[in-house]
Amino acid sequence: MSSRLSSIEVKRRNRINVFNGLLSASTATKPELAGRLGLSIPTVGMICDELMREGLVREAGMQASEGGRRAMRYEPCLDRFRSLGIDITRRHVYMALIDLRGEVIAGERQRFPFEDTEDYRKELSGRVEAFLEKNHTDPGTILGCGVSVAGIVSPQQDRVLYSHVLNVGEETILNHLTAQQLHAPQIRFFNDATAACMAECYSHHAPDSFVFVSLSNSVGGATVINNRILPGKSGREGELGHMLIVPGGRRCYCGKCGHYDPYGNALLLTERADGSMQAFFEKVRAGDSELTQVFEEYLHYLAIMIYNLHIATDLPVVLGGYVGSYLKPYLPRIRELVGEQNIFEEEEEFIFSCEYNVEASAVGAASYFTKTFIESL
Ligand SMILES: [Zn+2]
């Protein structure tokens, strides 16, 4: 019995590996895949045929002849299924559609101030429908819809428990959203920082293990070990915005003083530039002395945060959120500031900026369904 079960499990892993092999290679012949995955050519051939019958793999033309036998190339049908992600913020909604490789097919940011009303829920449903239509997406191909919010979600990810930014608790209208209203077979809620971190994990540029700092209108984070986000016991992991860094300091939105959020949120910067992060950094680059000082102070506290995270975990730190994607040119300065504190000689760089920008949380929330689908192949 157990050997039979394990052979089923081996076959399942082989299917996943063949599909992932095609996803990362774009196209491959059966012998190439077999060689890369350490499987026999007949095994790969059988799996490829199965995946073709299921509409997940197709032929991609004959390989150019190099004197020997010509072999058929295969490619994944990236568009067979799509996943939808929606990031709901106080003033905007960001929608993203991703393919089976996790790449963004379409993304759109719309000004749509959040209201905890029935009308908001209906209009959101209409906007999602229009977004799918515009991007020629048959709802029958959607694997699921991930909804990201700046707040705490239930450990089962089926409810929003609390969001300070949206000013809602468990009675929120968001908890009455149905999968059907979002034109998807299933729906799941994600904390926005966790979702942004999931997008980074998917980007293939990120290290296998890292601490993610999400510097958006509120600050959050997550820890990734071997490509998996560490779950807390109650869904409250990575609340980096409430780490104490200046005892008795500025008041945090939670009501306590000296937490990191009032030193690290994105609003500190955008409020100085008519709400635009791009405008803020353009002014800093142009040498605006007042904004340069604001930014230098921002980096000072960020460096304290990074140092504390790194000294506690010995992991790389990835800076994400609205601010993170703008920080690449300033990484040398950040490394210098952190280096002033560091008691260790570092052999490798350990501070990085994120790949994604404002779309990160929506893309990450969508990626859950793509990943889960591939894992269930
Ligand atoms: Zn706080």
List Cβ neighbours of 102 (8 Å cut-off, separation of 6 or more).
202, 203, 363, 367, 370, 371
pLDDT in tens, 82-93: 999 999 999 999
**Which pLDDT band, with edges at 50, 70 and 90, does 125 fall under?**
very high
**Amino acid in the structure at residue 241:** G
CB 101 within 8 A of CB 26: no
User: 241 falls in which pLDDT band (50, 70, 90)?
Assistant: very high
HSE, CB side, 13 Å, CA atoms: give it for residue 245: 23
Say how many Å lie between the CA of residue 220 and the centre of ligand 1: 11
Cα(242) to ligand 1 centroid in Å equals 4
pLDDT band at 1 (very low <50, low <70, confident <90, very high): very low
Q: In this prediction, what percent of the chain has a pLDDT beyond 90?
A: 80
CA distances from residue 163 to 89, 114, 153, 230, 248 in whole angstroms, order as listed: 10, 12, 9, 21, 25
| Residue 286 three-state SS | coil
The pTM (predicted TM-score) of the whole model is 0.85
Lowest mean pLDDT among 50-54, 120-124, 206-210, 238-242: 206-210
Q: At what angle do helices 41-53 and 30-37 cross, to 10 degrees?
A: 120
Confidence of residue 204 (pLDDT cuts 50, 70, 90): low
In the reported structure, the alpha carbon of residue 273 is separated from the centroid of ligand 1 by a whole-number distance in angstroms of: 25
Which runs of E-coded beta strand occur in 34-91? 57-62, 72-76, 82-88
More confident residue, 143 or 5: 143
Tens-digit pLDDT profile for residues 67-110: 667 889 999 999 899 999 999 999 999 999 999 998 999 999 99
Domains of the chain: 2-76 (1.10.10.10), 82-197+360-375 (3.30.420.40), 207-353 (3.30.420.40)
CA of 260 to the centre of ligand 1 (A): 7
| Residue ranges with CB less than 5 Å from ion ligand 1 | 242, 252, 254, 259
SS3 per-residue string spanning 302-350: HHHHHHHHHHHHCCCEEEEHHHHCCCHHHHHHHHHHHHHHCCCCCCCCC
